[in-house]
Chains A and B, each alone.
Chain A
């Protein structure tokens, strides 16, 4: 598989603890905000999205929070597991009639300590 050793901010988390990954976005006109996970040697994988008119959305073990006032997005992972070790990217989507196109942020590396 392919991977890139990105010089990324790193979050070290003890297994079983909760993780919070933050992202600042720039485009107030975006319709959706999305989180992707990229494991070593693989392509990114969709985790969860949130529409711009919402402030919270929950999935399985994950919660995304959106604060439009300060243009801030966060991903909370409950009871972090070793399989959560990966690079996490936030992305924005401004939906247009022709189709969708995502703009990705720089990413955060999460390391889960046993």
Chain B
């Protein structure tokens, strides 16, 4: 069955370190998204991609970057981790234009000390 996976599931890192969170989907979806979920803020969009070599900034993109070299993967990199980036991160994917149904991964809990 097609799925979307995230790794690691839990990560503890120190301030200033570079961290990469992996997201892999086997739906063959063009669209992929990264969100963070914090107390009192629900889901906020970090970056998204509509296809290979396409990346776009979301509403909270500062301090994060993504790259899309193939259809299946959209890794999220924290260039220099900050305590404010402690959060739960969700990756999602969806079909092409107009797709309201996004398929979410299980999430990665990141703690920056």
Contact = CB atoms under 8 A, between A and B. Distances in A.
Interface of A is mostly: loop
A32 B42 contact: no
Contact of B42 (A2, A41, A45, A106): A106
Contacts of B31: 99-100
A114 interface: no
Contacts of B50: 98-99
B45 to A, nearest CB: 7
Contacts, number: 89
Interface in A66-114: 89, 91, 93, 95, 97-107
A49 B90 contact: no
> What are the nearest 10 A-B pairs in CB distance?
A43-B104, A2-B107, A99-B50, A46-B101, A104-B43, A49-B100, A106-B42, A34-B100, A95-B98, A4-B37
B41 to A, nearest CB: 7
A5 interface: yes
B106 A1 contact: yes
Interface residues of B, number: 35
B107 A7 contact: no
Interface residues of A, number: 32
Nearest to B48: A101
Contacts of A32: 98, 100
B107 A1 contact: yes
B17 interface: no
B100 A99 contact: no
16 contacts: A1-B107, A3-B107, A7-B39, A34-B100, A42-B106, A43-B104, A43-B107, A44-B90, A46-B100, A49-B100, A89-B43, A98-B50, A99-B99, A100-B99, A102-B102, A106-B42
A95 B39 contact: no
Contacts of B41: 106
A30 B95 CA distance: 19
A6 interface: yes
Contacts of B42: 6, 89, 104-107
B98 A2 contact: no
B9 to A, nearest CB: 7
